[in-house]
Amino acid sequence: MTTICKDIRGAWRAEDTVDLAAERVLIITTHKVSDGSIVTRASVSVRDGAFLSHRMYRDFSQCIKISRDRCTAKVVSAQHADAVAKLPELQEAVTAWYAVNRE
């Protein structure tokens, strides 16, 4: 389920989480970054109790889309929905990543 809200800086942000095998969680986020772009990224974190940890270069991370549109709820929601529609492809990419990078 998609959560859309304003972040601490007042910019719109969308997020989805999908539970995977082996205590892994796929997180898809869409938000404004410091250069003004809107970025949609998928990353996998490992759940350890109440905490999530992402190990740089060892856990899956992929930039899905970057746009220079104005950061409105409508734009963030649409860009995020496009990424969530590619969920089966992302899950395949995650499976392939961990088949090669076993840990």
Domains of the chain, first to last: 3-86 (3.10.450)
Q: Which helix (H) or strand (E) holds 63?
A: strand 61-67
Backbone φ and ψ for 37, nearest 5 degrees, come out as: -75, 155
Q: Given the structure tokens 């991370």, which residue do they identify? A: 61
- Could you give the CA distance from residue 27 to residue 34 in angstroms, rounded to a whole number? 20
Q: Given the structure tokens 């905490």, which residue do they identify? A: 51
pLDDT of residue 103: 60
| pLDDT tens per residue, range 64-86 | 999 999 999 999 999 999 999 99
pLDDT of residue 102: 66
Amino acid of residue 22: A
Find residue 17's DSSP bridge partners: 27
| pLDDT tens per residue, range 4-54 | 999 888 899 999 999 998 899 999 999 999 898 999 999 999 999 899 999
* 8 A C-beta contact, residue 90 and residue 26: yes
Q: pTM of the prediction?
A: 0.90
